Chains A and B, each alone.
Chain A
Amino acid sequence: MSGVLRQLSISEWDERYDRLKDNLKEPAYGGPLGRHLSDGDFRLNSIKFDNSAAALRLWNFLLTEEERLAEARRDGKKLVGTMKDLGTVPIIAYADPDVVAFYPDGAWWIPCVMELSAGLLDIADSLGIDESFCPVRAMLGAFVTEAHFPLPDLLICSAGAICDDFSAIAQRLAGLGHEIEWWEIPHRHPVRDPLERVALPGGFFAHRRQVEGVTAELERLKKIVERLTGNPLGEEQLRGSITAANTVRERLAELRQRVFTAPICPMPALEMLVAEMLAIHYCSDRDETVAVLDEMLETVDRRIAEGEGYFGAEAVRVFWINPVADLVAMNLLEECGGRICGTEYLFSHALDPIPTDLPPLEALAQMALADPMIGPAQDRARRVVSDIRRFGSQAVIISKIPGASHCAAEGAIIADVVREQCALPVLEIEVPPISDSVRSSLRTRLEALVEAAASVRPHRDDVLDKDER
């Protein structure tokens, strides 16, 4: 008999924690979730959480990254702040065991998680970076206050075919005196000549010369990391780092596949979003990332085997595009009768396995070039369509990011391609970091989408590729 699970509020989780704690095997960063409220993470009060020990560990892992970074610094490790590339440069950095890499970009969510109490957006405003920029502007405030992560020993940022928001904000950061090593990621253009074309992980193609160019850039970055630590990084270490990254990616791929295709949702949207983010930066501890994902997988497997899950089998299977500035919106979709079955949070390239049959830096160059955001929006749309088919999604939400330079053009293109190729209902929404004021209109729109999707409700096979059947 299947069991319907219920998500918990943070106070419910703390009560549950009191009951369970004697039998819980927790890592050092464990503890009740409620303690993070005293760090100022007030949005947790509005979030509904999965009720498993695996989720408890996941949230605790996420919310203690700052402490891990401080500890790494105390241990004499070098901290490398990698910016924008989402998933590639940390693999070079982590090849040296004395280096910890992290993404200052993660400050994106601080205004939401701390309900604007940290004042990071006000600091960005005061530096001339107002709300016409995307929420990543919070990163500037985080550097100024030094209250959310230690200042890194080295800052590396990709430039070139990236969004103007990030490029502009990172340059503003450099203007404040934070030295940045820039590296070029070129725009991925169509390649007609098959002899010049390199097939990338994830299905895109790049020109051979671009792969060579990015490889040269990564070689340069490797030398910069070596100079920082004084340790040479050999091929074996890089291969080891790629293998470790692939371990994380494999776990995540399994988790996504099982959760998004299960008849009843075995893990809610927010926990899956956090899990996906681990693939980019490991929350500053790669081994622990694997352990966290393993526990999630065990939970999901057990729930699927026992027919347990959330929202019932009737929940509409929604594909979600772009990260949402207010995490609460993911809960809201679930309240409205949806569940997440497929995602594209701007970093799908960081979920694909890295080739192991190539020289390591060339393999990483291919990964960097597979970034959906550095090529035509049509490429990204095609990848979305293929994942919609893979996961049998019934509706699509394009979550426009406030101020983001790519969203105005890209959203419409992706929506058109999805409508044309999958004939699914598509909803474009824009959610601010604190969405309380738009909650009721957002609810109405989400409910309308769910209703529209439920009325057509294709059998999963209807959206599968012919050759997948």
Chain B
Amino acid sequence: MTRAKRFAYSAPFVPAEWIAAHGCLPRFHRPSGVITDGPIDDRAGLCAYMRAFVNEVSADSSIDGLILTTTCDQMRRAVDLIADGSAKPVFLMHVPTTWQTSTAYQYYLDELDRLGRFLVDQGGSTPSNGELIDVMRGFERGRQQIVATPERCRGQALSTALNGLFEGALPPAPPTEVRRGVPIAVLGGPLSKTDCQLFELIHAEGGTVLLDGTENGERGLPGKFNARQLAGEPLQVLADAYFGSIVDVFQRPNNRLFAWLKGQVKERGIEGIVLVRYVWCDCWHAEVQRIREWVGVPLVDIDLNGIDGAARNTTRIAAFLEALR
């Protein structure tokens, strides 16, 4: 029997349910490291995370296609860079940056429709409402299990759990940690597996990460499905839970991100923020100062070059935590 085709994506606005309902396998891919050769060569001005993601999934024989989004220029233009040379099909999904209008919502729905047709072209099948609802219910149950264990909501543990869920085998929860140290939020763009070492570094320096607010962390999880609407309009419910609920820095305006952050800081008793961003990640870079002024707790700004994330920031993180203790 041929296996279902597997499609890798990075932005949380791509609904895994939609891919799975088409009979394909979603892979919420977190690149392991960032220095890999592949269709995108190393040149000044390119984001190391984008390069790592594209090059790694391009080389991974278990992945049959890529789904990228327009959520940043780097990912959008990555599609141009690999357009002629990619051995795998690539889909570029426009995720609207505006979110307050019906036009933006409709664009998102139109893009889901286009994504669906792409998946069918690649061997998937158009799901009935019933099939979509079944997948949505199953994934939502799984996500609830995942978020019930805070240790599973951070860094690599979260991607492992989600991908396990998508492949039908949710891995066992890691042991519960005893909370100690200064409550920290990690906030920012996505993190590669290598750069997730920052979590251990924070831990080692006397902090406890109580919130993974990175793009491929807890912040990127969809909202709850509207149970009452689900039976009648599953696609709209899906769009609400992803496009309507996930907050990000690229959105215009991006005040929902600030409101969300303030709420989380208060709810979880966060005392310090480690803001992580890759060099050339303009949308996060531009907001560092405003977040610092706005959020009311100390913040350290960590830029990552994709080479030695944890190591080059050890001193700064240690000093930051020392100041907080």
Contacts and interface: CB of A to CB of B under 8 A. Distances in A.
Contact of A168 (B76, B83, B286): B286
Given A159-B97, A406-B73, A164 B283 contact: yes
Given A171-B252, A406-B73, A407-B45, A376 B286 contact: no
A175 B290 contact: yes
A456 interface: no
Contacts, number: 132
Interface in B48-78: 70, 72-74, 76-78
Given A182-B253, A187-B92, A405-B73, A169 B286 contact: yes
Interface residues on chain A, size class: 35 or more
Contacts of B46: 408-409
A434 B322 CA distance: 43
A383 to B, nearest CB: 14
Interface in B245-302: 250, 252-254, 279-280, 282-283, 285-290
A182 B80 contact: no
Interface string A160-176: 11011101111110110
A172 B43 CA distance: 27
Contacts of B79: 376
Interface string B81-106: 10110000000101011100111101
A413 B82 CA distance: 10
Interface residues on chain B, size class: 35 or more
A184 B107 contact: yes
A189 B70 CA distance: 11
A184 B96 contact: yes
Contacts of A127: 289
Contact of B97 (A132, A184, A207): A184
B44 interface: yes
A35 interface: no
B110 interface: yes
A129 B74 CA distance: 18
Contacts of A217: 101, 103
Most chain B beta carbons < 10 A, residue from A132, A165, A209, A409: A409
Most chain A beta carbons < 10 A, residue from B103, B282, B286: B286
A313 B72 CA distance: 45
Contacts of A406: 73, 77
Contact of B44 (A129, A164, A170, A408): A408
A184 B103 contact: yes
Contacts of B83: 376, 378
A412 interface: yes
A189 B283 CA distance: 23
B250 to A, nearest CB: 7
Nearest to A219: B103
Nearest to B44: A408
Most chain A beta carbons < 10 A, residue from B77, B83, B253: B77
A183 interface: yes
Given A133-B286, A169-B286, A409 B78 contact: yes
B93 to A, nearest CB: 9
A220 interface: yes
A227 to B, nearest CB: 16
A171 B96 contact: no
Contact of B80 (A160, A378, A405): A378
A406 B77 CA distance: 7
Contacts of A129: 286
A466 B246 CA distance: 52
A220 B101 contact: yes
B285 A168 contact: yes
Interface in B179-197: none
Interface in A150-209: 157, 159-161, 163-165, 167-172, 174-175, 180, 182-184, 186-187, 189, 207, 209
Given A168-B286, A171-B254, A172-B290, A184 B104 contact: yes
A182 B97 contact: yes
A128 interface: yes
A168 B283 contact: yes
B77 A409 contact: yes
Contact of A160 (B43, B97, B289): B97
A209 B89 CA distance: 23
Interface string A205-235: 0010110010011001000000000000000
B107 A132 contact: no
A33 interface: no
A376 B79 CA distance: 8
Interface in A395-412: 405-410, 412
8 contacts: A164-B250, A165-B282, A168-B286, A171-B287, A182-B97, A187-B76, A376-B83, A409-B78
Interface of A: 127-129, 132-133, 157, 159-161, 163-165, 167-172, 174-175, 180, 182-184, 186-187, 189, 207, 209-210, 213, 216-217, 220, 376-378, 405-410, 412-413
Given A167-B252, A174-B253, 19 more contacts: A128-B286, A133-B282, A159-B98, A160-B97, A168-B287, A171-B287, A172-B286, A180-B253, A182-B97, A186-B96, A186-B107, A189-B94, A207-B110, A209-B110, A213-B107, A213-B110, A405-B45, A407-B45, A408-B280
Closest 9 CB pairs of A and B: A408-B45, A128-B289, A168-B286, A409-B77, A164-B282, A405-B73, A159-B252, A377-B80, A164-B73
